[in-house]
Amino acid sequence: MYTIPHLVLPQVKDLHRIDVYTSNGGYDQIRKVLSGMSPDDVINEVKASGLRGRGGACFSTGLKWSFMPKSNDKVKYLAINGDESEPGSFKDRQILEYNPHQLIEGILIAGYAMGITKAFIYIRGEYHKWVRCAEDAVKEAYAKGFIGEGMKSAFGTSFSMDIIVHKGAGAYVCGEETSLMNSIEGERAYPRFKPPFPANKGLWGCPTTINNVETLAAVPPILAIGSDAYSKIGAAKHPGTLLFGLSGHINKPGVYELPTGIPLRDVIYDIGGGIPGGKKIKAIIPGGSSMPPIHPDEVDRVLMDNESLKEFGSYIGTAGVMVMDEDTDLVKVLLRLAHFYHHESCGQCTPCREGCGWMEKILKRMVKGDATTHDVDLLFSVASNIEGNTICALGEGAAWPVKGFLKKFRSEFESRVKPSREFFSLNVVHGKESTRNQLILTQ
């Protein structure tokens, strides 16, 4: 079957303890980097590995790092995104709990590569357990001299970096990178306009890189096995391993580290143990709630990497695979999602603020049986008017599932509406006897 390299979540007991991590080769890669590689060597190695961000947008990590200015005129920052608030995404917390030192090592390597001396690990405030996991690991690493001034003697280097664990403000939008920066600065978590991009003007106006927890935890193994070997794991255009979060109607839900490009069918049946009660699949969301769904007729052909999913009108997102069986009411599913996005919209942009509310209202009408035929097209039109017209991608996150479900499961929505009997058009009739406006009923 597959060789599954456990690069991000190795199966080692108590790996979250620094002594266990170091006795399994932990912190060897930062030592190697500091003793013989230039910052550009590191960036080129990460670029060559083909690593792409695991936070949803799938952007090349090495390329992102190369955008940071080389000069040290200003302080440079790294923000590590552990907000993880999208429905269906629950994989970063596994790293914080089971392998936090690999994340810290990845942060130090990224810091050295970009000349960054301060990093913030941003974790959603309500995730007390994982905030504690991160704080404990950071404390242990400081005590060993692996973070901060101690690095100079521990690794015989002039480079040092500080890491601060920052509790988030408890909203989905805080995970959007510019909103996250406002939140760290103590401001309201409103997304910022781009440009300027964070590499030019980020935290407190200084150059900043934002990376997802899983992205940075993947860096030490890349240096350990080499970019060439890493680039050969999984799909060529989106290589490596991904932490797939399986949820919904599946026998063995959980987080599994698997190579990119694995067939969706294998993820569901071989890894996830199939659908409870042997039921059929009705729909699958492949990468967290913002991603358009996969139709059951497509399941046998879908490979789980970003480029392959594009052929089916979707994306890998955060690799949160949500499975829905044949008894699922997709109209109710979409209503639940629309409610989430409406609730989480920060309200800055009219299309997102109003559009998310309208989508929720239309879907509520459909669920109650009060919707009419034109509501199906109206729903699609509202979603289309949000997409591409907002400051941040929460708008797309709200619109894509709506458009995707309507494209692939239209009949399910049509079966929930009544004919548009009361569709009026206003016609002004100037009769001899009367100049009163009359409403002419048209179909």
Ligand X SMILES: Cc1cc2nc3c(=O)[nH]c(=O)nc-3n(C[C@H](O)[C@H](O)[C@H](O)COP(=O)(O)O)c2cc1C
Binding site residues, ligand SF4, CB under 6 A = 173, 191, 345-349, 352-353, 390-392, 394-395
- Is 86:172 a contact under the CB 8 Å cutoff? yes
Angle made by CA atoms 368, 370, 373, in degrees to the nearest 5: 125
Among ligand SF4, ligand X, none, residue 391 binds (CB under 5-8 Å by kind):
ligand SF4
CB of 123: closest distance to ligand X in angstroms? 10
All residues at 6 or more sequence positions from 154 whose CB lies less than 8 Å from its CB, including other chains: 144, 145, 146
User: Cα(411)–Cα(432) distance, rounded to whole angstroms?
Assistant: 47
CB of 388: closest distance to ligand SF4 in angstroms? 11
Site string for ligand X, 42-71 (x = CB under 6 A): -----------xxxxx-x----x-------
- Is 316:245 a contact under the CB 8 Å cutoff? no
- Is 224:29 a contact under the CB 8 Å cutoff? yes
CB closer to ligand SF4, 349 vs 371: 349
Site for ligand X in 214-243 (CB under 6 A): 215
User: Cα(319)–Cα(373) distance, rounded to whole angstroms?
Assistant: 34
Among ligand SF4, ligand X, none, residue 346 binds (CB under 5-8 Å by kind):
ligand SF4
Among ligand SF4, ligand X, none, residue 347 binds (CB under 5-8 Å by kind):
ligand SF4
Among ligand X, ligand SF4, none, residue 390 binds (CB under 5-8 Å by kind):
ligand SF4
CB of 130: closest distance to ligand SF4 in angstroms? 24
Figure out which of the listed residues 65, 112, 172, 315 binds ligand X, where binding follows CB under 6 A.
172
Coil vs helix vs strand at 426: strand
Choices 69-77, 102-110, 308-316, 391-399 (CB under 6 A): range interacting with ligand X: 391-399
CB closer to ligand SF4, 29 vs 390: 390
**Residues near ligand X (CB under 6 A), total:** 25
Verify binding: residue 212, ligand X, rule CB under 6 A: yes
Among ligand X, ligand SF4, none, residue 83 binds (CB under 5-8 Å by kind):
ligand X
Figure out which of the listed residues 211, 306, 314, 345 binds ligand X, where binding follows CB under 6 A.
211
Query: Based on the number of CB atoms within 10 Å of its own CB, is 170 exposed (0-12), middle (13-18) or buried (19 or more)?
Result: middle
Q: Kindly report the number of other CB atoms within 10 A of residue 42's CB atom.
A: 22
Site string for ligand X, 92-121 (x = CB under 6 A): ------------------------------
Among ligand SF4, ligand X, none, residue 220 binds (CB under 5-8 Å by kind):
none
Q: Kindly report the number of other CB atoms within 10 A of residue 269's CB atom.
A: 16
Angle made by CA atoms 118, 33, 101, in degrees to the nearest 5: 60
CB of 341: closest distance to ligand SF4 in angstroms? 8
Verify binding: residue 190, ligand X, rule CB under 6 A: no
Coil vs helix vs strand at 208: strand
CB closer to ligand X, 365 vs 403: 403
Figure out which of the listed residues 7, 37, 43, 81 binds ligand X, where binding follows CB under 6 A.
81
Among 341, 343, 135, 311, CA closest to 235: 311
User: Cα(291)–Cα(313) distance, rounded to whole angstroms?
Assistant: 9
Among ligand SF4, ligand X, none, residue 133 binds (CB under 5-8 Å by kind):
none
CB of 54: closest distance to ligand SF4 in angstroms? 21
Residue recorded with tokens 């940075």:
216
CB of 351: closest distance to ligand SF4 in angstroms? 8
Sequential DSSP letters for 323-364:
EEETT--HHHHHHHHHHHHHHH--S-SHHHHHHHHHHHHHHH
Verify binding: residue 207, ligand X, rule CB under 6 A: no
Query: Based on the number of CB atoms within 10 Å of its own CB, is 282 exposed (0-12), middle (13-18) or buried (19 or more)?
Result: buried
All residues at 6 or more sequence positions from 3 whose CB lies less than 8 Å from its CB, including other chains: none
Residue whose Cβ sits closest to ligand SF4: 352
- Is 318:309 a contact under the CB 8 Å cutoff? no
CB closer to ligand X, 160 vs 178: 178
CB of 168: closest distance to ligand X in angstroms? 9
CB of 174: closest distance to ligand SF4 in angstroms? 10
Among 188, 192, 167, CA closest to 178: 192
CB of 322: closest distance to ligand X in angstroms? 16
Figure out which of the listed residues 151, 161, 210, 243 binds ligand X, where binding follows CB under 6 A.
210
- Is 256:365 a contact under the CB 8 Å cutoff? no
All residues at 6 or more sequence positions from 437 whose CB lies less than 8 Å from its CB, including other chains: 426, 428, 429
Figure out which of the listed residues 394, 398, 399, 402 binds ligand X, where binding follows CB under 6 A.
394
User: Footprint of ligand X on this chain (CB under 6 A)?
Assistant: 53-57, 59, 64, 81, 83-86, 172-173, 175-177, 210-212, 215, 392-394, 397
